[in-house]
Structure 1
């Protein structure tokens, strides 16, 4: 199977790219869409603050748990059906909040929603790796990073606007997964399994231990991102920025930075290479957290959020490509699924780890600790070699040569 190259874009090629990028925007809006109405839900359903918080985090927990199974399904049955099925589940389970009136039913729907979100997260990344090659793959990876960041801006704003109608209304945004799932079945090429692979995830990691480094970095990046998401609004309140809309504008600076840098990702990768991109991102994260920890001016906090987004904007595509290119094609879904597990585990534990520290000291101290951790990771990246290369088929127990299912 061959997709048309960039010099001769056909209608089917453009449709495939559009659906892939649109589906990618859905992964980052999972919790942000309903965040503005969580307080209202708490009052309407009469639950505690902790129980209300679970509405935002339940999907992340189920996503982290089921991601390896989703990856196995993609490797076993091919790409299109698991991705389309995940999008449909994403839409139906996410949209269930429109009619749900009990807390128990809402939490069950959120756990189911996480399963669909896992398929979307893993499937869109595997699709990028399977359907695009070479320089075009780098360009699309950058565009996908931009799409992810734009999704983190647009969908929450729509959800916030709908929240003015009722606490149920923002859940309607998730219904977008249904038509995108149908479009996936219609326009995404049928990428068959790349061959039966011997062994499972343990075998993969035994032969490709370098993947653990990428997963650790993915965990760390998500950890920092959610420290920023949870505690930057509180830091802004400390410096007399209390208007919710202004706080929302400042915090979206992270997504703006990620959107912009994604457009330049392909050129940066070609010039600097993967490892230098990770190093630059870590520098950006350290500077951003240092500025938040030391500054008492909202303008500098806005700049810090933007700089953090610049770092994340190159890390997201770089890590995805490093993981995908380090794994044999027959186990690419499983390799990417562990990235999802690491990513959302980092999000889940971030406030649990730094929250008590901040409670015992200050928000500024918490961000300074984050800056110190970023500096430590940068030192490790400078001292120890980190490489991304295609794994030979025999190294990970595949039955077929490690070649991509499609070419551009």
Structure 2
């Protein structure tokens, strides 16, 4: 049977059901660890493990995502996003839900790695599908909605897990089971033809290995490096904010949750909802510089603030930067890669994002332990300042014309006809 991406078909025009399912899937892609974060201390005590082992329960899926994302990207380029995304959602649901019946640390850790494999497919395939189905202002709009959906998941799923955690530490893992019905919905809602405006022969002709892609597209390599750096640097705030609040006398876990989750998610969601207007007015390059400036200000304020009230601005600034950077870097990655390798390019983004997330505590943990939280934040601020300076070399990409992949392809063919 021929692969879905090689099937010649009529132009694909996404409907509301397709967009809804893809946005719902986007709420899951980056939620592997945050979902059970509220009950991680209960899990640690129940399994009788130390802090390092408990940390692995939260981060091991990130390593699995970083390693397996290129495989998900190749599958997306080969078959289109529909089947790999559906399979990834099922693996996500089963791997995450396995914690409901797991009573040992090795088994739980293994299930978290399985979860990471599913999350790699969910993140890569849902992103590639959105990029392939929309163009121009419509793509900016749905990528902003995707950011809002992701941040909403970052707020709602941990709250649901925290409520379920009052019954037992196993109960929060039921949240992951949402992947199972979503997998079925993907099969029903997503078009069978691979989006993107290329025929299967054209896409196949452009495919190649990851190393070849990065060699031929140096901008893509730079963007992946930017993902690693920004994720690694901003994890300093995510990991250290509760500790910093404790140093300033804030011990109420609800207040800590407001600082760490609610404010940042709210700011990022608001930016996401207005993202299309922001890009139309300022452009991608200027927005990325704003994001880097917001991160730098957040890290400096985090390091020097001596009272909890000024620290309220830290998650707001962080959320603004993340709300800008998530859709902008994703669109720039798509611009930097050929359509026939969109899945591979997006998978490299996932590898960079989650690789930086996994490595950050390994890099900054010893530094902070040897010095202080403030010193670690100032070092990270120096890093984001370097990123801000480097971003002045970033050029504004050309914008596609159509609102969907099919319309963009039609307008491209019409333009070619006029040139001839």
- TM-score w.r.t. length of structure 2: 0.89
Counterpart Cα distance in 2 of 1:312 and 1:79 = 25
Secondary structure in structure 2 of the residue aligned to 1:167: coil
1:323-342 CA-partner distances (Å, limit 9, x unpaired): 01221111110011000000
Q: Corresponding residue for 1:394? A: none
Please give the residue correspondences for 1:183-198 in structure 2 after superposition, counting only pairs within 5 Å.
Answer: 183-192=185-194, 195-196=203-204, 197-198=206-207
Counterpart Cα distance in 2 of 1:256 and 1:3 = 33
Q: Corresponding residue for 1:85? A: 87
Please give the residue correspondences for 1:136-285 in structure 2 after superposition, counting only pairs within 5 Å.
Answer: 136-192=138-194, 195-196=203-204, 197-252=206-261, 253-285=263-295
Q: Corresponding residue for 1:55? A: 57
User: Is residue 330 of structure 1 aligned with residue 365 of structure 2?
Assistant: no
Query: CA separation of 1:99/1:81 partners in 2, compared to 1, >3 Å: closer, same or farther?
Result: same
Segment drifting more, 348-357 vs 281-290? 348-357
Please give the residue correspondences for 1:23-42 in structure 2 after superposition, counting only pairs within 5 Å.
Answer: 23-42=25-44
| 1:377 to partner: Cα distance | 1.2
| 1:406 to partner: Cα distance | 4.1
Counterpart Cα distance in 2 of 1:125 and 1:191 = 16
Counterpart Cα distance in 2 of 1:220 and 1:210 = 15
- Which of 352, 374, 378 aligns to 2:388? It is 378
Query: CA separation of 1:268/1:335 partners in 2, compared to 1, >3 Å: closer, same or farther?
Result: same
Counterpart Cα distance in 1 of 2:379 and 2:129 = 37
1:131-163 CA-partner distances (Å, limit 9, x unpaired): 112111110011111111111111111111111
CA contact under 8 A between 1:291 and 1:301: conserved in structure 2?
yes
Q: Corresponding residue for 1:44? A: 46
Secondary structure in structure 2 of the residue aligned to 1:298: coil
CA contact under 8 A between 1:205 and 1:211: conserved in structure 2?
yes
Counterpart Cα distance in 1 of 2:84 and 2:20 = 19
| 1:405 to partner: Cα distance | 5.9
CA contact under 8 A between 2:65 and 2:120: conserved in structure 1?
yes
Counterpart Cα distance in 2 of 1:133 and 1:367 = 38
1:50-93 CA-partner distances (Å, limit 9, x unpaired): 11211111100011000011100100111100011001110111
Consecutive unaligned residues of structure 2, counting only runs of 5 or more, are 1-9, 195-199, 409-420
Counterpart Cα distance in 2 of 1:191 and 1:279 = 37
Counterpart Cα distance in 1 of 2:242 and 2:266 = 17
Counterpart Cα distance in 2 of 1:31 and 1:263 = 25
CA contact under 8 A between 2:30 and 2:123: conserved in structure 1?
no
- Which of 103, 106, 123 aligns to 1:104? It is 106
Segment drifting more, 98-107 vs 192-201? 192-201
1:216-269 CA-partner distances (Å, limit 9, x unpaired): 111122113321110011111111111111101111111111111111111111
Secondary structure in structure 1 of the residue aligned to 2:15: helix
- Which of 113, 120, 123 aligns to 2:122? It is 120
1:5-36 CA-partner distances (Å, limit 9, x unpaired): xxxxxxx7111111111110112321011112
Q: Corresponding residue for 1:401? A: none
Counterpart Cα distance in 2 of 1:37 and 1:313 = 27
Consecutive unaligned residues of structure 1, counting only runs of 5 or more, are 5-11, 392-403
Moved over 3 A (4+): 1-4, 385-391, 404-408
Counterpart Cα distance in 2 of 1:167 and 1:74 = 35
| 1:389 to partner: Cα distance | 5.4
| Pairs aligned (count) | 388
Taking only aligned residues, the RMSD between alpha carbons, in angstroms, comes to 1.7
Counterpart Cα distance in 2 of 1:354 and 1:118 = 25
- TM-score w.r.t. length of structure 1: 0.92
Counterpart Cα distance in 2 of 1:28 and 1:302 = 24
Counterpart Cα distance in 2 of 1:220 and 1:29 = 20
| 1:191 to partner: Cα distance | 3.1
Counterpart Cα distance in 1 of 2:207 and 2:65 = 25
Counterpart Cα distance in 1 of 2:25 and 2:237 = 25
